Structure 1
Amino acid sequence: MSGITDFLTGPWEHLFMQRAFAVAVMCGIVSGVVGSHVVLRGMAFIGDAVSHSVFPGVAIAFVLHVNLVLGGAVAGLLTALAVAVFSQNRRLKEDSVIGVFFAAAFGLGIVILSTAPGYSGSLESFLFGQILGISDGDVLTVAVTGLVLLAVAAAVHKELVTVSLDRETARAAGLPVFALDIVLYALVTVTVVISLQAVGNILVLALLITPAACARLLTDRIGVMMLLAPAVGAGSAVVGLYLSYAYNLAAGGLIVLVVTAVFVLCWVFAPRHGLLAAGRRRRSRGRTGAPPESAPVRPAAAEAPARTPAG
């Protein structure tokens, strides 16, 4: 019994672990909320694109000896704005435009860094995360930024859901679709930037997408999904940090592995949409001869507002 107690309380005796837990939980919550909109929109690729598009900003900040996170945020927001603008041409699908700009941004970052010798060690924390080395200032920055992100996401929640469900209907109802695109891209960009210290540039997509994907398997209700996703993200971050402390392994990688394990469990055992549930339905239909059932889309009426054009 004492061994379990030591395992649970041991990490909290260290200030660096307390900071790590605080940042990990906050990043897990924010990523879960913002990631839910990304998964609903079917644009998971944007998380990967943004995580790479911050690279040239970080490279420029490194060369100029300024704050790396600030440089990454500026570059990510500019790339997100470019994607939003070019995606308005419906001849091109959104993922195609994202692919163009994320590759260009990453290429630009490589070119810039090639002019600055000795950069690899300094950028290790950016690529792989350094959650155990964050400062009190970092915790405060993540807390304030996270609260702002959650407030913005709550303010435009219904509008973002409406655009995700039916873009053309949202436009016909008078919603500012282009502005909402920019808001969503900005939310994703800032979420990625504040999560870099937790899991790093390479793994940040998992923290943004996987908790929301778990929630999508567990519920048909968008409101419930918005609660489950941050719970999965924050819980996985805490478990990952405990394992990192106990076994002296990379914290960012373990956080990602834990949330991926949760996804696999949801994929198998989800009560309605899991593998086992689907097998039971197939066996039941085989016995009764009933036709296959369709998967309904059931957003709450209050979550998908119908608006009429002004004037």
Structure 2
Amino acid sequence: MIDTLLLPFQLPFLQNALLITLLMAPAAGLLSCFLVLKGWSLMGDAVSHAVLPGVVLAYMAGIPLLIGAFLAGLFCALATGVIRDLSRVKQDTVMGVVFSGMFGLGIVLYTQISSDLHLDHILFGNLLGVSAADLWTTGLIAGGVGLALLLLWRDLLLLAFDPVQARMAGLRVRLLHYGLLVALSATVVAMLSAVGIILSVALLIAPGASAFLLTRRFPAMLAVSVALAMIAGVTGVWLSLFLDSAPAPTIVLILTGFFLLALGRHLLRRPVLS
């Protein structure tokens, strides 16, 4: 019985899957908190979808796919901000137009080339096919993003709650704003090989949303968000072997379950207004 339960930890490809989820989880969990507080959940969706044309163009140009993905995601994030500032259109509307347009462009470009680039792996990831190079790339990117967020969390927190006060306090608001967008694009790229474009959205939203409902202090929110992301990652990979399911969607379902449990706890503890 014990040998059966420990089987996922003995298979090399599952060991790599577990390791890359543990590498991704801290950066995704930390960033998720800031996205939730700033109301940027849709921004994570937009950036994750926008990387597709960058991946295809990078393949056509013969350069690393991650470079194309990062540049495309960064372009989407910056373009959204510029269009919002120059027009009367609200940010959520701009993001909807930009990310759907870039995702459509990526699909059209993909159909025009003949390659061994599997669209399913780009969209949904290939967690069971993670290589040593993927582990190094994800570890370096996620580690850098996580460290930057930990060092700047107080400044970013003030920016999320009160940009005017942050500016009066002498913070470089514009630099922090675009730095957070760069961190978002980099994190999506770090998760690209493992969970793909679509499923990365859940890792960027669900941990922070659940932690927001479970905690009252921001440091605790950061810790709980990272813990939920790591637990969901390990449990999802382990459980997928016995359910004969794909690991990434299983992780997403567990994260969704965490959010529903957190929401239920929040509603039960909330006082009833008469």
Instruction: State TM-score, norm by structure 1.
Output: 0.82
SS at match of 1:209: helix
1:113 equivalent in structure 2: 110
| Counterpart residue identity of residue 194, structure 1 | A
Check conservation: 1:217, 1:267, Cα contact below 8 A. yes
Structure number with bigger Rg: 1
| Counterpart residue identity of residue 127, structure 1 | L
Q: What is the deviation of 1:29?
A: 1.6
Q: What is the deviation of 1:6?
A: 2.3
1:37 equivalent in structure 2: 34
Match of 1:149 among 145, 150, 164: 145
1:99 paired to 2:96: yes
Match of 1:182 among 175, 178, 181: 178
Question: Given the superposition, is the C-alpha separation of residues 156 and 8 from structure 1 closer, same or farther in structure 2, using an over 3 Å criterion?
Answer: same
| Counterpart residue identity of residue 51, structure 1 | S
2:119 equivalent in structure 1: 123
Structure 2 CA distance for aligned equivalents of residues 38 and 201 of structure 1: 17
Structure 1 CA distance for aligned equivalents of residues 53 and 247 of structure 2: 25
Structure 2 CA distance for aligned equivalents of residues 80 and 123 of structure 1: 23
Check conservation: 1:84, 1:178, Cα contact below 8 A. no
For structure 1, the residue ranges without an aligned partner over 5 or more in a row are: 287-311
Number of matched residues?
274
Q: Deviations over 1:98-152 (max 9, x none)?
A: 2232123223223322321467x62221111101101111111111111111121
SS at match of 2:6: helix
1:251 equivalent in structure 2: 247
1:267 equivalent in structure 2: 263
Q: What root-mean-square deviation, in Å, do the aligned CA atoms of Structure 1 and Structure 2 show?
A: 1.9
Check conservation: 2:84, 2:90, Cα contact below 8 A. yes
Structure 1 CA distance for aligned equivalents of residues 178 and 5 of structure 2: 42
For structure 2, the residue ranges without an aligned partner over 5 or more in a row are: none
2:52 equivalent in structure 1: 55
Q: Which fold has the larger relative contact order, with Cα–Cα distance below 8 Å and residues 6 or more apart in sequence?
A: 2
Q: Sequence identity of aligned pairs in percent?
A: 35
Check conservation: 1:237, 1:255, Cα contact below 8 A. yes
| Counterpart residue identity of residue 126, structure 1 | I
Question: Given the superposition, is the C-alpha separation of residues 215 and 55 from structure 1 closer, same or farther in structure 2, using an over 3 Å criterion?
Answer: same
Structure 2 CA distance for aligned equivalents of residues 21 and 102 of structure 1: 30
Greater percentage in helix: 2
Q: Deviations over 1:245-282 (max 9, x none)?
A: 1222111110100111111111112xxxx12112xx21
Structure 1 CA distance for aligned equivalents of residues 18 and 121 of structure 2: 17
SS at match of 2:118: coil
Structure 2 CA distance for aligned equivalents of residues 16 and 209 of structure 1: 27
Check conservation: 1:63, 1:113, Cα contact below 8 A. no
1:9 equivalent in structure 2: 6
1:277 paired to 2:262: no
Q: Deviations over 1:197-238 (max 9, x none)?
A: 232211111011001101000011111101110100010011
Check conservation: 2:130, 2:194, Cα contact below 8 A. no
| Counterpart residue identity of residue 243, structure 2 | Y
| Counterpart residue identity of residue 17, structure 1 | L
Check conservation: 2:29, 2:229, Cα contact below 8 A. yes
